[in-house]
């Protein structure tokens, strides 16, 4: 078997129950379909400790299921180790970005590239908005943004 270089991406939002589990599941499905999933460590996490251990939001699970995508993720908080072990930490909005950049400063050897997932959007919608107080349509919009961005991100890393 040919040696493969492992790549890694951690998707992050506020609570790790709405946006980042969708991004994680979408990216895993795309990498699987592309035959590249074995090259990747893929995970998601929260900036806050509010929902640790929780399942993804039922509206997000329903949205994913309508697109034939499964998730068994449980919410976890981003740790200091994540900044050393992940090559990419991709987040959803400016608030996530400032929380992550602040946390990265407290890590001796932060290696991760901390970016907005939306920076990969060919349609240039930089922010993936929190659908927590939103509707099913808002979850669908998050899904579509994740599809566009994950596709571009995967292609860039292929
Ligand atoms: C959210 C949320 C989201 C908001 N997932 N929560 Cl009550 C609360 C307080 C601190 C952290 C978290 Cl995670 C939560 C529960 C879980 N996507 N979005 N809260 C939210 C949205 C808009 C204005 C204020 C909040 C707290």
The CA–CA distances, whole Å, from 134 to 47, 105, 145 equal: 20, 33, 16
- Model pLDDT, residue 5: 82
- How many domains does the chain fold into? 1
Q: Whose CA is nearest to atom 17 of ligand 1?
A: 132
Interatomic CA distance for residues 69 and 49, integer angstroms:
26
- Classify residue 149: in a domain, yes or no: yes
What pLDDT is stored for residue 125 in this prediction? Answer: 98
> Which ligand 1 atom sits closest to the C-alpha of 19?
17
14 CA to centre of ligand 1 in angstroms: 7
Q: Are the CB atoms for 124 and 110 separated by under 8 Å?
A: no
Residue 90 sits in a domain of what CATH number?
A: 3.40.50.2300
Query: pLDDT digits over 41-53, tens only?
Result: 999 999 999 999 9
Backbone φ, ψ for residue 100 (5° rounding): -70, -40
Q: 18 CB less than 6 Å from ligand 1?
A: yes
Task: Indicate whether 1 belongs to any domain.
Answer: no
pTM: 0.97
What are 132's two structure tokens? 């927590």
Residues in the chain, pLDDT under 50: none
Residue 50 placed within a domain: yes
Residue 95 lies in a domain: yes
Nearest residue to 92 via CA among 59, 126, 132, 41 = 126
45 domain-assigned: yes
Provide the domain limits for residue 47.
Answer: 7-156
CA atoms of 112 and 95, how far apart (whole Å): 18
Residue 2 in any domain: the answer is no
């Amino acid at each position: 078997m040919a040696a493969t270089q492992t790549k890694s991406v951690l998707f992050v939002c506020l609570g790790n129950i709405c946006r980042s589990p969708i991004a994680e599941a979408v990216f895993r499905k795309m990498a699987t379909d592309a035959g590249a999933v074995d090259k990747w460590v893929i995970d998601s996490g929260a900036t806050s400790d509010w929902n640790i251990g929780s399942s993804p939001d039922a509206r997000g699970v329903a949205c994913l299921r309508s697109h034939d995508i499964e998730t068994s993720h449980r919410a976890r908080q981003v740790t200091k180790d994540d900044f050393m072990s992940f090559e990419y930490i991709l987040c959803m909005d400016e608030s996530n970005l400032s929380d992550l950049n602040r946390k990265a400063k407290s890590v001796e050897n932060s290696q991760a590239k901390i970016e907005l997932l939306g920076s990969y959007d060919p349609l240039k919608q930089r922010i993936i908005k929190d659908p927590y107080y939103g509707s099913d349509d808002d979850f669908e919009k998050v899904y579509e943004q994740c599809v566009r961005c994950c596709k571009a991100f995967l292609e860039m890393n292929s």
